[in-house]
Amino acid sequence: MITSFQMRAARALLGIDQKTLAELAGVSLPTIQRMEASEGNVRGVVESLTKVVDALNRAGVDLIGEHVRSDDGGRGVRLKQPGPPPRV
């Protein structure tokens, strides 16, 4: 699962807006807006959520889930490698 906080943090790390994330994931802007408006874990159609997670992964973001090894513990987001922002 991904949280709305992780989605917003991932976009911030990449320096992209909701519209760009929607284009990268192949989903609509309202879908991204609804996902980010969720409290806690993102709710929505599994296929759309998978597309968003895959797009963030391709763009170079590591989504750190609950109970996944992380030096400081907890959920989070990190860049796999620093680099230029993704192109649409």
Which two three-digit tokens encode residue 86?
Answer: 């993704």
* Alpha carbons within 13 A on the beta-carbon side of 50: 3
CATH code of 16's domain = 1.10.260.40
HEC readout, 66-84: CCCCCCCCCCEEEECCCCC
**Domain with 54 in it:** 4-79
Specify if 62 maps to a domain. Answer: yes
Across 63-69, average pLDDT: 68
In this predicted structure, what is the pLDDT of residue 74? Answer: 55
In this predicted structure, what is the pLDDT of residue 41? Answer: 87
Beta-bridge partner residues of 3: 41
Specify if 88 maps to a domain. Answer: no
Number of domains in the chain: 1
pLDDT tens track for 3-27: 898 899 999 989 999 999 999 999 9
pLDDT tens track for 22-53: 999 999 999 999 999 988 889 888 999 999 99
Which two three-digit tokens encode residue 23?
Answer: 């284009």
For 84, left (φ over 0), alpha (ψ -120 to 50), or beta? beta
Specify if 87 maps to a domain. Answer: no
